[in-house]
């Protein structure tokens, strides 16, 4: 019997940015002709994580903060799959931050869509790692995942979109999926996706966005210049958006397969697999 999965409708609040992320994912999958049976969408915990129920693909709802090692395993186990991981800023920049650092280092062919709304929406509005200064104290600086990615030399694709800029977000989602489909490694796409119920950042982010795609002097292939630009924009209270960095490096699966092949060669030299030759060698040296 063949079972066909019918995605459910989203349960997000009216006006939530996540609708735009879902739309951009669907647009990119359709634009590149990627079929549901060729796609696996894994998600973390939070409002963002429920997008896994709304896209027609293989799906897996991972533990909190653990979406990236799970997605990396899926990419290794079946290189024919297009693997997409998605989650929020609480999931990816707090409990999952260590896994993000190692995904940047390893470069697995996984698209990671981090839906940043600078708040824990599902649990009703606590500060998240990107919330900025904590109300009343102003001592808590926000995490910047793009600058973090630029600081790790193995990263190959870093971009930031905004759900209010649908054309650019659609384009970035397609570019990120192309990177992953070409087995060029980890594509990190942070999407500014406001939580209209607990932290409506639409007007603030609209005013502070700086689109590097529209800057003729900006090159996404120069890591050092990208770092300087994003940090200086941050110092001016601006937020860099667009394709921030695009580089080249072998993907994790290629390295892993080479490692596996080395293991197989070691296995071929395992003395237990050459008992007769070993006995003959020992005989030659017997007194
Ligand atoms: Fe979206 Fe916020 Fe509502 Fe969650 S609580 S669905 S993040 S608007």
Distance 282 CA to ligand 1 centre (A): 72
Q: 196 CB less than 6 Å from ligand 1?
A: yes
Residue 107 reports pLDDT greater than 80: yes
Q: 12 CB less than 6 Å from ligand 1?
A: yes
Structure tokens at 281: 């060698």
* pLDDT in the model for residue 115: 98
Distance 274 CA to ligand 1 centre (A): 62
Which run of H or E residues covers position 116?
Answer: strand 111-116
In terms of Cα–Cα distance, which of 272, 253, 250 is closest to 261? 253
Angle, to 10 degrees, between the axis of helix 18-31 and the axis of helix 166-181? 50
Calculate the alpha carbon distances from 270 to 263, 275, 281 in Å.
10, 9, 15
Distance 85 CA to ligand 1 centre (A): 19
Compute φ and ψ for 13, nearest 5 degrees: -60, 150
CB of 174 closer than 8 Å to CB of 166: no
Place of tokens 């600086």: 141
Structure tokens at 180: 């992953």
Place of tokens 């080479």: 258
Residues with Cβ within 8 Å of residue 49, at least 6 apart in sequence: 43, 61, 86, 87, 88, 91
Q: In the chain, what are the helix, strand and coil shares in percent, each to the nearest 5?
A: 45, 15, 40
User: Which of 12, 15, 194 should be mutated for ligand 1, with most atoms under 8 A from CB?
Assistant: 12
Atom 2 of ligand 1, residue of closest alpha carbon: 195
Distance 112 CA to ligand 1 centre (A): 20
Distance 125 CA to ligand 1 centre (A): 9
* pLDDT in the model for residue 160: 98
The confidence band for 141, taking pLDDT boundaries of 50, 70 and 90, is confident
Q: 162 CB less than 6 Å from ligand 1?
A: no
Structure tokens at 166: 């649908």
Distance 41 CA to ligand 1 centre (A): 20
Q: 115 CB less than 6 Å from ligand 1?
A: no
Kindly report the number of other CB atoms within 10 A of residue 64's CB atom: 15
Query: Is this structure's pTM higher than 0.75?
Result: yes
DSSP codes, 228-243: HHHHHHHHTT-EEEEE
* pLDDT in the model for residue 133: 64
| CA atoms within 13 Å, Cβ hemisphere of 72 | 21
pLDDT in tens, 53-103: 999 999 999 999 999 999 999 999 898 999 999 999 999 999 999 999 999
pLDDT in tens, 198-250: 999 999 999 999 999 999 999 999 999 999 999 999 999 999 999 999 999 99
Q: 46 CB less than 6 Å from ligand 1?
A: no
CB of 170 closer than 8 Å to CB of 162: no
Q: 21 CB less than 6 Å from ligand 1?
A: no
Residue percentage of the chain with pLDDT more than 70: 92
């Amino acid at each position: 019997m063949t079972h066909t999965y019918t995605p459910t409708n989203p349960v997000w609040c009216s006006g939530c940015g996540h609708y735009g992320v879902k739309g951009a994912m669907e647009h990119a999958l359709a634009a590149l002709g990627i079929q549901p049976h060729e796609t696996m969408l894994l998600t973390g915990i939070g409002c963002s994580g429920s997008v896994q129920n709304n896209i027609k693909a293989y799906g897996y709802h991972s533990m909190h903060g653990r979406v990236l090692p799970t997605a990396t395993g899926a990419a290794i186990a079946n290189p024919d799959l297009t693997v997409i991981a998605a989650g929020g800023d609480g999931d990816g920049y707090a409990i999952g931050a260590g896994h993000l650092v190692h995904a940047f280092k390893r470069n697995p062919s996984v698209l990671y869509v981090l839906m940043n709304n600078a708040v824990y929406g599902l649990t009703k509005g606590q500060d998240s790692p990107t919330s900025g200064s904590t109300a009343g104290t102003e001592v808590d600086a926000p995490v910047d995942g793009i600058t973090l990615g630029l600081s790790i030399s193995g990263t190959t694709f870093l971009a930031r979109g905004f759900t209010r800029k649908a054309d650019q977000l659609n384009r970035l989602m397609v570019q990120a999926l192309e990177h992953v489909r070409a087995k060029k490694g980890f594509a990190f796409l942070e999407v500014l996706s406001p939580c209209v119920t607990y932290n409506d950042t639409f007007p603030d982010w609209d005013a502070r966005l700086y689109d590097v795609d529209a800057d003729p002097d900006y090159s996404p292939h120069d890591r050092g210049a990208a770092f300087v630009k994003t940090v200086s924009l941050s110092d001016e209270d601006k937020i860099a958006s667009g394709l921030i960095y695009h580089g080249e490096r072998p993907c994790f699966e290629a390295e892993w397969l080479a490692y596996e092949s080395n293991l197989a060669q070691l296995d071929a030299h395992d003395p237990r697999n050459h008992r007769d030759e070993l006995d003959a060698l020992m005989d030659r040296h017997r007194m």
